Structure 1
Amino acid sequence: MPDFQDRVLKCVDCGAEFVFTAGEQHFFHDKNFKNEPKRCKPCKTKRQGSSGSSARAETMTSCSQCGRETTVPFKPTQGRPVYCRECFLSRKAASAGAGAGNR
């Protein structure tokens, strides 16, 4: 395994220098990534934000338990129940309480 040491790289977008840490290099090596990073963290974040991938799709639907209109951060799958926040949290709390007695 290579000996990783912090390296200074130059961002292709803003030209600023940034550190490609030994830990990041180890991660890249473990994942078999062939290319080192080209952008500093602020430019990478800005680039990801502009692609629209960080925006969640909100879908209007009816709660399967109480019937109230609600928005969910995903596209519901047919045949699977969808709950409003209150019903979801109450079901989650009920299942957590039921599971505690099985230990």
Structure 2
Amino acid sequence: MTRDTTVGLSVHDVARMIRRDFDRRAREEGLTRARWQVLWHLARHQGVHQAALAEILDVAPISLTRQLERLEQEGLVERRPDPSDRRRRRLYLTEAA
């Protein structure tokens, strides 16, 4: 095994351990990985439209729609009409998020 391979595998293992630890802590708060990723990206991209967020997250738009519906029902996300395109909805975190 080359040094590059060993370093690459080590980085992969560390990333996996960090993800597992974060997932465990997020579960204690009632969040899944999919839910916290949506919230995390929305915190950095307030006002993004749904299609753009689906692309950022690399998920199917229908999967994101389901997540957003749940988050909206829980009062964590708000979907507002886009003033320049009535077909689009802009996404915002609420104070509760």
- TM-score band by shorter chain is under 0.3
User: Greater helix share, 1 or 2?
Assistant: 2
> Which entry has the higher C-alpha Rg, 1 or 2?
1
Normalising by the residue count of structure 2, what TM-score does the alignment of the two structures yield?
0.26
